[in-house]
Amino acid sequence: MVIGLGRDDLVRMRDQLFFEGPDIRRRLSRFWLLLVLSTIIAAAGVVSDSTATVIGAMIVAPLMTPILGIVAAVVLRDGHNLWRSVGLVVSGAATVVAISMAVGLFVPYPVVAATNSQVASRVTPRLVDLVAALATGAVGSVALARSDISDTLPGVAIAISLVPPLAVVGLTLESGAPHQAIAALLLFTTNVVAILASGIVVMALYRASRAADADSAPAFRRGVAVAVIGLLLVAVAVPLWVNSDRLNRTSVRQTDVAAVANRWASDAGWSVVAVNTSGGNVLVEATGPEPRPDLSQLRRDLDDAGLRSDDVEVNLVPVDYTPLPR
């Protein structure tokens, strides 16, 4: 059962999310200190391809606070804190990218998806990432509304990645991979928009606006802000859907080619050791004893299966098994 929020709850939310009051300098210094440290941790974790280190950066990162601050400011119709929170998110994101690029200058090799699993996992955002981010953002908003379940926030910080994608943006930009940087930026934007959209819905379910309107003069039209968030949600959903469709088609084709290649290799006494996709082509690697299997037969098998054989490349690796002397 959802219980409406009262004035005391709104005061608690303001204290948690807004950078205002007599301790504003302390809160801002804490935000920037944690942001810089979490960025260094995240960049180091990505460079070293360490999942544990990246998770540590997620827990330390403070970006969730101003993002939820935007939600609270919209609900409270507080224009001053709305723009302050937006400014912190934008400037914070730019700072993370800049620091990550600086870290990349000290790495003697490119940090890109082809050689780093942390990068690879953040440069192929799909529609399912938006669904997961919406659910995670809802949990974070509920934890904000209900002080009795606030202990879930560390889990929310881990589940919805904010600083690591931005670290990937900076590292891939410095490595000369702008397309991967754009994809990682799309993932970050998706997570931010999902938090905003989920937060607005959760606050509406908790009837936070009623408590806010009872004792506050409107600084702006709440409906306009909600509409902007809705448009942003659609704007990120479209490229995510396109990317998901492309990845699904690639995965299905790779699986179909692998099935045909495995039968072809098995008939010749060979084994397929890898099937990957690169640049629109399916790459098949097979190994076995001489003589080599007939590639023209594989072409016919692919054609019979309704698969284009002209974008399949095969790497044959002959092996010679010699028994040890007795």
State how far the alpha carbon of 5 is from the alpha carbons of 79, 133, 145, 214, in Å: 21, 24, 7, 12
State how far the alpha carbon of 121 is from the alpha carbons of 63, 114, 209, in Å: 21, 11, 38
CA distance 125 to 181: 12
CA distance 62 to 59: 8
For the beta carbon of residue 159, count every other beta carbon within 10 angstroms: 17
Q: Which two tokens stand for residue 322?
A: 């010699």
pTM for the structure as a whole: 0.84
Buried/exposed 168-185: b ≥16 CB within 10 Å, e otherwise: bbbbbbbbebeebbebbb
CA distance 131 to 137: 10
Per-residue pLDDT of the chain (326 residues; tens, 9 = 90+): 456 666 777 778 888 888 888 888 999 999 999 999 999 999 999 999 999 999 989 888 899 999 999 998 888 888 888 999 999 999 999 999 999 999 999 999 999 998 999 999 999 999 999 999 999 888 888 888 776 665 555 566 666 789 999 999 999 999 999 999 999 999 999 999 999 999 999 888 877 766 565 555 555 677 888 899 999 999 999 999 999 998 888 888 889 999 999 999 998 889 999 998 877 788 999 999 888 899 999 999 998 988 877 788 999 998 877 777 77
Regarding the domain delimited by 251-318, which CATH topology (the fold level of the hierarchy) does it fall under? GMP Synthetase; Chain A, domain 3 (3.30.300)
Q: Which stretches within the chain are classed as H helix?
A: 7-17, 24-47, 51-60, 64-76, 79-104, 117-120, 127-145, 153-159, 163-174, 178-205, 208-214, 222-267, 295-304
- Under a CB-based contact definition with an 8 Å cutoff, are residues 13 and 209 in contact? no
- If we measure between CA atoms, which residue out of 159, 158, 142, 138 comes closest to residue 150? 142
- Under a CB-based contact definition with an 8 Å cutoff, are residues 165 and 133 in contact? no
Give the pLDDT of residue 1: 46
Q: Which two tokens stand for residue 1?
A: 């059962």
- If we measure between CA atoms, which residue out of 170, 200, 179, 192 comes closest to residue 236? 192
Give the pLDDT of residue 5: 66
Residues in the chain: 326
Q: Which two tokens stand for residue 324?
A: 């040890």
CA distance 84 to 89: 9
Q: Which two tokens stand for residue 186?
A: 């799309």
